[in-house]
Amino acid sequence: MCSLDGNTLSGVGSVVGGVGDLLAGTGEAKAHRKRMGRIMESTRDQLNQMDKAQSRRRGAQRAAYGKAGVKLTGSAKRLMEEQLKEDELELLKTKYNAQLKIDDAKDSAKSAINQGLMGLGQGIFDAVSTFTGGMGGGASSG
């Protein structure tokens, strides 16, 4: 029958704890990656909706000008061009804000993995320290 002393159990416990830290970090990173996917999908939908609404508004504006007999030259043309620029800027701001959220989720995922790896490394270090301390202590007291 095999008996395990306290040092062995402590060392094994340290490694198991480190593996637990790694698994927790991996799970957290997976959640952050899912969040990135949801942000990308949501942003794509939002941009499509914004683009459609902006196109409808510009079309209605052109129709109103045409109905009123206004030709798209001079001030009316500049006004339409300015509106187009503002619409494009609004789309770019939405893309930029989404990218910030995606970058944050990426950083959080990387951080979670790194914390898990550090926990695993610490568990292995603690186990080695326990084993070498236990062996060294036993040899010197003999």
Quote the pLDDT of residue 27.
95
CB 11 within 8 A of CB 133: no
Q: Which structure tokens are listed for 114? A: 């790194």
pLDDT band at residue 141 under the 50/70/90 scheme: very low
pLDDT at 73: 86
Structure tokens at 142: 């003999």
Q: Is the pLDDT of residue 69 over 80?
A: yes
Would you state the pLDDT for residue 3?
A: 60
* Cα separation, 87 vs 46, whole angstroms: 13
Phi/psi-derived region of residue 73, left when phi > 0, alpha when psi is between -120 and 50, beta in every other case: beta
pLDDT score, position 140? 39
Q: What is the pTM of this model?
A: 0.74
- pLDDT, mean over the chain: 89
The Cα 70–Cα 76 span in angstroms is: 8
Domain ranges in the chain?
12-125
Residue 30 corresponds to which tokens in the numbers above?
């997976």
Residue 55 has pLDDT above 80, yes or no: yes
